[in-house]
Structure 1
Amino acid sequence: MHTVWKGSISFGLVNIPIKLHAATENKDIKLRQIHKECHTPISYQKVCPGCDKEVTNEEIVKAYEYAKNKFVILDEEELEKLKKENEDKAVEIIDFVKLEEIDPIYFERSYFIAPDNGGGKAYSLLRSALEESGKIGVAKIIIRSKEQLAIVRVYKDTLVMETIHFPDEVRNVQEVPNVPAKQEVVKKELETALMLVDQLTTTFEPEKYSDEYRTALMELIEEKKSGESTVTVTEKQPAATSGSNVTDLMSALQASLDKTKKKPATRKKKAPTAKPAISARKNA
């Protein structure tokens, strides 16, 4: 399992070296866009509309737009320094709370926590403390240059860290349009609705739910693969570069040597010397 973050987590004076592993994965089926005429995959270029030309990554800097068309340019070294200063800090559990006190709207992404070398005993201690107390830990962590609020809890004998949104990242519910005001409902209608809720009430079993659209899409793709709905694209071979492969590298080196070989010097023709004028008169 790929490690996405490595550091330590502490509560009180107990320090646990840990690794984080992504607990979930996105299984969306990714579809490519290709040219209808020749079936070549479409590529996207970074273009500056002001200069009307394509730009490279080396020509791009980061900036913050504090007003319309007004930017503060941020130097890459400054950003790296800020990132380094924060990433060097260990994750510290600052509070313990009950899980039910946090509304699910705050939850963002889950990570499995694994103990790093020498952290097994302290890991077990924190796991037992959370299980016995029925509490979860609240902590802060820097992941991918962003400070995150997070909670630490036990999930099937494994510690899990779940990043959660800061309060100012959750939009104001008062801004949701067309929400009807509370009003009395007809008693018979409410009783019928509650009866329906009771009939559909069950124990949550995640295994019984599946992505039916993804399954149907994959079946369609497999069906088309076995038919005549596939196309093959012959990609245009890039020009030989120094980093393409060994053969191209040797060809480029040989061509360079051939080009720089000294050509045999060619003698310059001497300018014809003027012949002495012949005297019109013969010596007597």
Structure 2
Amino acid sequence: MHTVWKGSISFGLVNIPIKLHAATENKDIKLRQLHKECHTPIQYQKICPGCQQEVKNEDIVKAYEYEKNKFVILDEEDLEKLKKENEAKAVEIIDFVQLEEIDPIYFERSYFIAPGDGGAKAYALLREALLKSGKIGVAKIIIRSKEQLAVVRVYKNTLLMETIHFPDEVRKVEDVPNTPSDQELSKKEVDTALLLIDQLTTSFDPTKYKDDYRTALMELIEEKRTGKQTVHPKEQEAPASNVTDLMSALQASIDKTKKKKPAARKKPATKAKKNA
């Protein structure tokens, strides 16, 4: 399992060397875009709309747009300095809370926590303490130059870290449009809805849920592949090199000159001068 972060986790005076591994993976099927005419994969270029020219990575700077079309440019040196000042490779648990106190809207991404070299005993200690207390740890961590709020909890026999949104990153429910106010509902309507919920209530078993669209899409792709309904890009003619072009031009010029040059005339024999 690929390690995405190395550092340590601390609570109180206990410090545990750890490694983070992504706990989830995106299994979306990625589709390429091809040119309909020749089936060549489409490439995307970075074009400056002002200059109408392709821009190379070394010609790009980062900036913050504080007003429409008004920017503050941030140099790479400034960003790197800021990154180094804040990139302490440590997860510091600052509070312990009940998991039920955090609404799922805050949760973002999950990472398995593995102990680093010499950290097995301290790792087991934190895991046992969390299990016995029924609490989770609230911590801060910097990943990819971004400070993250996170929680540390036990998942089966492993410690799990889940990054969570800061409060100002969660939008206000008051801004949701067209939310109905209190509606007058009859007792029969409510009882019928509760009966339906009761009939569909079961224990959560994640293995029973499948991505039906992804399965159907893969079946369609495989059906087309085995049926030889495949395409490949047309072979592109290699562009002639500048040297070849130059040699061709020179040779054409020589041939053209030969055709225009008149044949050399033989000089007529000169008559002997008469003696005076």
TM band (smaller chain): 0.7 to 0.9
Q: CA deviation at 1:228?
A: 3.2
Counterpart CA distance in 2 for 1:84 and 1:71 is 24
Q: CA deviation at 1:84?
A: 1.6
SS at structure 2 position matched to 1:207: helix
Count residues with an aligned counterpart. 239
Counterpart CA distance in 2 for 1:154 and 1:48 is 49
Match of 2:20 in 1: 20
Counterpart CA distance in 2 for 1:237 and 1:158 is 56
Amino acid at match of 2:46: K
Residues 1:188 and 2:188 are matched in the alignment: yes
Match of 2:65 in 1: 65
- Residues 13 and 222 of structure 1: CA distance in aligned 2, closer, same or farther (over 3 Å): same
Counterpart CA distance in 2 for 1:238 and 1:44 is 21
Q: CA deviation at 1:89?
A: 4.5
Match of 1:199 in 2: 199
Is contact 1:40–1:235 with CA below 8 Å preserved after alignment? no
Q: CA deviation at 1:88?
A: 2.1
Is contact 1:61–1:74 with CA below 8 Å preserved after alignment? yes
Q: How does 1:144-163 map to 2 (within 5 A)?
A: 144-163=144-163
Match of 2:42 in 1: 42
Is contact 2:22–2:112 with CA below 8 Å preserved after alignment? yes
Q: CA deviation digits over 1:37-78, x for unaligned, max 9?
A: 000000000001111100100000100000111111101111
TM value normalised by structure 2: 0.84
Counterpart CA distance in 2 for 1:77 and 1:22 is 30
Match of 1:282 in 2: none
Structural RMSD (CA): 1.3
Is contact 1:137–1:153 with CA below 8 Å preserved after alignment? yes
Q: CA deviation digits over 1:148-205, x for unaligned, max 9?
A: 1000000011000000000000001000011011233100111111111111000000
Q: CA deviation digits over 1:91-150, x for unaligned, max 9?
A: 100000000000000000000000000110000000000000000000011111111100
Amino acid at match of 2:208: K
Match of 2:243 in 1: none
Q: Which runs of 5 or more residues in structure 2 are unaligned?
A: 240-276
Runs of 4+ in 1 over 4 A off after TM superposition: 234-239
Counterpart CA distance in 1 for 2:114 and 2:199 is 41
TM value normalised by structure 1: 0.82
Q: With CA pairs under 8 Å and 6+ residues apart, which has the higher RCO, 1 or 2?
A: 2
Q: How does 1:111-190 map to 2 (within 5 A)?
A: 111-190=111-190
Q: CA deviation at 1:229?
A: 1.5
